A and B are shown apart, each in its own frame.
Chain A
Amino acid sequence: MKTVFVTVGTTSFDDLIEEITSAEALKALKYRGYERLVLQVGRGSVLPDPQNFPHVTLEVFRFKDSIAKDMEQADLIISHAGAGSCLEALGAGKALLVVVNDKLMDNHQLELARQLHTDSHLLYCTCPTLTETLRSMDLSVLQPFVPGQPKKFANFMDKALGLQ
């Protein structure tokens, strides 16, 4: 079953949860073949009841120790712009759509999402444009994300500090 995993990180992002569970957005997802929707809603006050959504398999939770499994099972990840979530999703090799919270002031977390968008590693939208983006997005433009190379750091330090 094609799955979408939505994650808001450690805080809350009610607008995103409301928008993704709107009739229009669900229709757009269904049209693309996504049948299962998993929502990580954090501290949010919007907690959709799966019984109200008979046409889609819906799972909702606030927090888990690790969301690695949810990421692994997803075909598309929709995430807030937090650096940790973005890197985890890309590290799992998944298609990623970042939804920017335009109600928050520009914070430095956005810098990374913007750069990764410039480098075509993720798609980027806001809540009001989410449904339209789900309809029109082209996931084939996304470039694979090469993980960072901490070994280069270790090699550099070994040499600089005189280790044999």
Chain B
Amino acid sequence: MPVMFVLFGGVFVFVACMVFMIRLYIVVRNGKYCKPGNKGLITLLVVAGSGGHTTEILRLMKTLSSAYSPRFYVIADTDRMSEERIRTFEKSNHLLDSDTQFTIHRIARSREVHQSWASSVFSTLNAQFYSIPLIFRLRPDVVLCNGPGTCVPLCVAGLLLGILGIKKVLIVFIESICRVESLSLTGRILYHFADYFFVQWVSLRNNYPKSIFLGRLV
């Protein structure tokens, strides 16, 4: 009897994994057919990092129209600078409707610069724990990110929404202009899952054929 139990258990886990993988494959592959713009407004979740990452993503945001609304910004809880910069940006940007709402959400940072690998695993799981309820509540059409470690747990939560069939969350990743020859760690992970993956140097596009190269963006 115990043998049968283990056997059935094993088969169940195997089938569950297979279903999960197939769903993941379908969700990632079908991104290009997803057109949230058809219904009018696009709900945007923006992952702002610290320092240079925030500068770059705000430069990109500056050219987006007010059709990208509402906008949810997610910043790391240890980040003091970004919130002020986002508020200043939202106030000053004339392309985006000032009446349209934006909100700022804080999340545990998944990885500090120079943090060891072992503690990174723990803090990333911690960030994952906060990301899932946040994404399930906000249900954005698009997650826009450019490299801070915080974006991986948020993108994973977005994928999960798609896998469960609740909503397809498009993942848009823009690799930092600093990356000329090699992708960042976040970039290497999200290359496989992002629906739109931008690089800013031609040498990177040559190494990563699925990436989109439109020249320098920031």
Contact = CB atoms under 8 A, between A and B. Distances in A.
Interface string B68-82: 000000000000000
A83 B214 contact: no
A67 to B, nearest CB: 14
- Main SS class of interface, A: helix
B200 A115 contact: no
B35 A153 contact: no
A109 B52 CA distance: 11
Given A149-B216, A152-B215, A111 B182 contact: yes
A153 B212 CA distance: 10
A52 interface: no
A114 B203 CA distance: 13
Interface residues of B, number: 39
B105 interface: no
A163 interface: yes
A18 interface: no
Given A84-B51, A84-B55, A161 B42 contact: yes
B127 to A, nearest CB: 22
Interface string B165-183: 0000010101011111110
A164 B32 CA distance: 17
Contact of B36 (A115, A151, A162): A162
A138 B158 CA distance: 52
Nearest to A115: B180
A146 B217 CA distance: 11
B181 A160 contact: no
B193 interface: no
B188 interface: no
Interface residues of A, number: 27
B198 A158 contact: no
A92 interface: no
Interface in A131-164: 146-154, 156-158, 160-164
Nearest to A107: B178
A87 B180 CA distance: 14
B142 interface: yes
Interface in B180-216: 180-182, 184, 196, 198, 200-201, 212, 214-216
A68 interface: no
Interface string A86-114: 01000000000000000000001101101
Given A111-B180, A162-B38, A157 B217 contact: no
Residue among A111, A115, A150, A158 with the most chain B CB within 10 A? Answer: A150
A157 B64 contact: yes
B60 A150 contact: yes
9 contacts: A108-B184, A114-B180, A147-B216, A148-B218, A149-B215, A150-B60, A150-B62, A153-B63, A154-B64
Interface of B: 32, 35-38, 42, 51-52, 55, 59-60, 62-65, 67, 141-142, 170, 172, 174, 176-182, 184, 196, 198, 200-201, 212, 214-218
Given A87-B177, A108-B178, A162-B37, 6 more contacts: A83-B178, A108-B184, A111-B179, A112-B177, A150-B217, A152-B217
